[in-house]
Amino acid sequence: MIDEDTIRQDVRKVQLNILIKLDEVCHKNNLRYYLAFGTCLGALRHKGFIPWDDDIDVLMPYADAKKLISLQGSFGKKYFVQSKETDPDYRSIAMRIRDLDTTCIEIDEVGLNIKKGIYVDIYPFYECSDNLIVRTADILRSNLLKVLVNNKPPVNHGGILALISKIIILFYSESHRKRAIEKLEHRLSSVRGSEILDYFGQDVSLFTAISYPKEWFAEPKKLEFEGLLFDGATEPEKYMEKRYGDYMTPPPADNQVVHHTYITLDPYKSFEEYER
């Protein structure tokens, strides 16, 4: 029987190989990506994975992220560009690159007819209005968009949010929901301003979101991650300081936990074998 530590290391190898492929495709097609969140923090503080972390996240400009959808052929048969456009039952604005030879089933994916391999998360980022009132309205729009795309109450986000989501969903027929999604996406992607933000990742709440100067996400800076070099923010230290504060000091031991709930995590067997 394979021990948990070996499985954990092999899961990370799968994730790292996905990132290597994403880096290759992006550079070949002049697309920008940046190591994000704990992945960027891990690169700066540990030169690789945060010891207790369990995923890889990247940020991409909205337009570049959307271009990945047309580049499935560049990823081959092993890797799948997952989005609501390519996997209709997938319920997220964030995209994923999945390894189809592996299995990763999270609690909120049970029963969904989607690809369920181990993945790297891709979060699109947007320019945002310099007007605080307009920006707040767009943050609210982004939350509505998340509810409409998910089309069901979120799991593990509290009873109040689940209730609000149920009420919102009741007001939308299927055709109305799809039209509203298109309008909201067009609105968020058409805004221009001096800062950028990610509406769908870890930087946003109901009314607020962390924004960053656009120049922090211009020409990528190479960062070491697990012995290889990948693209990071132009100003990765400033990005991490604004996102985490004193990012070079690890959190207390009781906060050194993973944030995903897995039903099945298998780096050796395809999810299709579990679903036969």
> What are the pLDDT digits (tens) for 78-90?
999 999 999 999 9
Q: How much is the pLDDT for 129?
A: 98
Of the chain, the percentage scoring pLDDT greater than 90 comes to: 76
| Residue count (the chain) | 276
154 — phi, psi (to 5°)?
Answer: -70, 155
Average pLDDT over every residue of 186-200: 96
Burial class of residue 26 in the structure, from the number of CB atoms within 10 Å of its CB (0-12 exposed, 13-18 middle, 19+ buried): buried
221 — phi, psi (to 5°)?
Answer: -105, 135
Pinpoint the alpha helices (H) of 69-131: 72-75
pLDDT at 152 over 90: no
Average pLDDT over every residue of 151-178: 77
* Euclidean distance between CA atoms 64 and 199, whole angstroms: 16
Instruction: Show me where the domains of the chain are located.
Output: 4-274
pLDDT at 162 over 80: no
> What are the pLDDT digits (tens) for 105-120?
998 888 899 999 999 9
Q: How much is the pLDDT for 111?
A: 86
Q: How much is the pLDDT for 24?
A: 98
Q: How much is the pLDDT for 150?
A: 87
pLDDT at 26 over 70: yes
User: Residues 65-80, buried b or exposed e (16+ Cβ, 10 A)?
Assistant: bbbbeeeeeebeeebb
Average pLDDT over every residue of 3-8: 90
pLDDT category, 157, cuts 50, 70, 90? low
pLDDT at 153 over 80: no
